[in-house]
Amino acid sequence: MKKWFQNLAALPLLLAMIIVGGVYKADAADFGHGHRSFADMKIIASLGLTSDEQTALIAALTSNGPAVRTAMQAWHAARKQLYADLQVTPPVGATLVADATALATAKAALQTARAQLDVALSSALTPEHLQQLQADLTAQFQDGLDKKTNRLLFGYAMHLKNQ
């Protein structure tokens, strides 16, 4: 019963994360590259945040999240434009230089927005929670990498078997 109440205490944070993630995915639906907007809900829920930390985390996400989203969209648009201009036969050098400059500017803006979000998230969480989050995200990344490696090895084994 006590664990149920602890899970209920994380409900406002989970709802905020779902809403923010849903808005992000709705705005960025045309990217479709499998990007994740934020850490998995299981990982956030496993941190055991206090209500003050939850409030600070939600405030950090809502105040800095739109800037990251806008910067990400600008970076994707600049990248698509550069790719489109590279496909023109023959490519126009001045256009490519302008596109590369726009892409570099968009990348710098994205890095700045992400750094601001990182600072806000770091100030919202305790160092112990940040360490736990880093460990959980590393484990999740490693698990995904292991699954992909296993699929590649299986595919290679099937290829060798068919030869």
Looking at per-residue confidence, does 24 or 91 come out higher?
Answer: 91
- CA of 97: how far to CAs of 14, 27, 81, 104, 106, in Å? 44, 29, 12, 10, 14
3 state SS of 87 = coil
Q: For residues 136 and 3, which has the higher predicted lDDT (pLDDT)?
A: 136
Return the minimum-mean-pLDDT range out of 3-17, 40-54, 107-121, 131-145.
3-17
Distance CA 157, CA 154 (A): 5
* Cα–Cα separations (whole angstroms), residue 102 to 2, 85, 110: 54, 13, 12
Q: What is the mean pLDDT of residues 115-130?
A: 84
pLDDT of 2 over the 80 cut: no
Considering Cα of 15, then 16, then 20, then 23, what sign does the dihedral take?
positive
**Residues 27-80: tens digit of each pLDDT:** 444 433 444 444 456 667 777 777 888 788 888 888 888 999 999 999 999 999
So where are the chain's domains? 2-125, 134-163
Phi, psi of 83 (to 5 degrees): -60, -45
Neighbours of 72 (CB within 10 A): 21
- Which has the higher per-residue pLDDT, 14 or 71? 71
Whole-number percent of the chain with pLDDT over 70:
73
How buried is 99 (Cβ within 10 angstroms: 0-12 exposed, 13-18 middle, 19+ buried)?
Answer: buried
pLDDT digit string, tens, across residues 21-31: 554 444 444 43
Single-letter amino acid code for the residue at 134: Q
pTM of the model: 0.56
Q: Do 48 and 72 form a contact (C-beta atoms < 8 A)? A: no
Query: What is the per-residue pLDDT for 57?
Result: 80
